[in-house]
């Protein structure tokens, strides 16, 4: 494990917020494993990151609703880099729908990808994170999870999605309570609508120019990795400009 170059595993790393966080981390001197479902898009992003930053970028295709693939992803990172200074959980899924009408298979998929996969990733990665934290006495190791402002304040039509993100926020808090003594802490990032493919369904009622940018969220993720091991930030809520502070 290199003591001069840090490494990070970024899920959802082929596009959107995850790709922008990966780019910022690579520019900061991190080598990367980036994961997503589509191998072709993943390789294109990895190639672009290598050219732009000179970082070592290891693309690993994985489906977040398959626990075996999730664990294999963590092993692939360890095989390549030997340790893990940051785990970025950016992969997620969301479907709008009321509590009364949402099909079971829809909310079950959100639970699988937004809750079970992050928990599985954390469990599998903690041995690497602890080792890397021990080797970096100043900064420790960080877990950064993309949650949502709907996990903090409910939004009509997003009940199941918001519930999974509330669970993710709680998970980050508990991991910090249990692991920060080992130098490993977890931070949830909880933004309102960010201008990505995932929010394309809102563009008929919400102008893209009013949304948060991927750069806004990536900047916060990068800041977390720069903090000392003594600084534990449970959750960062980012709302859009306007007259409704606690709405997406």
CATH of the domain at 224: 3.40.50.720
Residue 246 in domain: no
Q: Are 215 and 20 in contact (CB under 8 A)?
A: yes
pLDDT of res. 2: 43
pLDDT of res. 3: 46
Residue 100 in domain: yes
Give the three-class secondary structure for 93: coil
Q: Which two tokens stand for residue 23?
A: 């780019």
Residue 68 in domain: yes
pLDDT digit string (tens) for 85-115? 999 999 999 999 999 999 999 999 999 999 9
Of 14-28, 81-95, 97-111, 188-202, least confident by mean pLDDT is 188-202
What does the buried/exposed string (b/e) look like for 7-35 if buried means 16 or more CB atoms within 10 Å of the residue's CB? Answer: bbbbbbbbbbbbbbbbbbbbeeebbbbbb
Domain residues for 95? 6-238
Q: How far apart are CA 35 and CA 62, in angstroms?
A: 6
Residue 121 in domain: yes
Q: Domain count for the chain, please give it.
A: 1
Q: Which residues contact 134 (CB under 8 A, 6 or more apart)?
A: 182, 183
Residue 178 in domain: yes
pLDDT digit string (tens) for 122-171? 999 999 999 999 999 999 999 999 999 999 999 999 999 999 999 999 99
Residue 247 in domain: no
Residue 173, number of CB atoms within 10 A of its CB = 16
pLDDT of res. 110: 96
């Amino acid at each position: 494990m290199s003591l001069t170059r840090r490494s990070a595993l970024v899920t959802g790393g082929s596009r959107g917020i995850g790709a922008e966080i990966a780019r910022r981390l690579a520019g900061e001197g991190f080598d990367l494993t980036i994961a997503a479902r589509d191998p072709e898009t993943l390789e294109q992003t990895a190639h672009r990151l290598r050219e732009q930053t000179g970082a070592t970028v290891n693309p690993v295709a994985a489906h977040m609703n398959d626990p075996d693939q999730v664990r294999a992803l963590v092993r692939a990172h360890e095989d390549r880099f030997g340790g893990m200074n940051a785990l970025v959980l950016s992969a997620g899924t969301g479907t709008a729908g009321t509590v009364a009408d949402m099909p079971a298979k829809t909310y079950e998929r959100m639970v699988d990808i937004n809750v079970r996969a992050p928990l599985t990733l954390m469990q599998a990665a903690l041995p690497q994170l602890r080792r890397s934290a021990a080797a970096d006495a100043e900064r420790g190791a960080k877990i950064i999870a993309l949650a949502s402002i709907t996990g903090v304040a409910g939004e009509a039509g997003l009940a199941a999605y918001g519930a999974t993100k509330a669970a993710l926020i709680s998970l980050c808090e508990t991991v910090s309570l249990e692991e920060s003594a080992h130098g490993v802490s977890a931070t949830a990032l909880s933004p309102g609508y960010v201008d990505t493919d995932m929010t394309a369904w809102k563009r008929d009622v919400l102008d893209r120019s009013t949304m948060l940018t991927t750069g806004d969220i990536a900047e916060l993720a990068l800041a977390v990795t720069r903090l000392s091991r003594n600084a534990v930030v449970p959750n960062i809520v980012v709302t859009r400009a306007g007259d409704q502070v606690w709405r997406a």
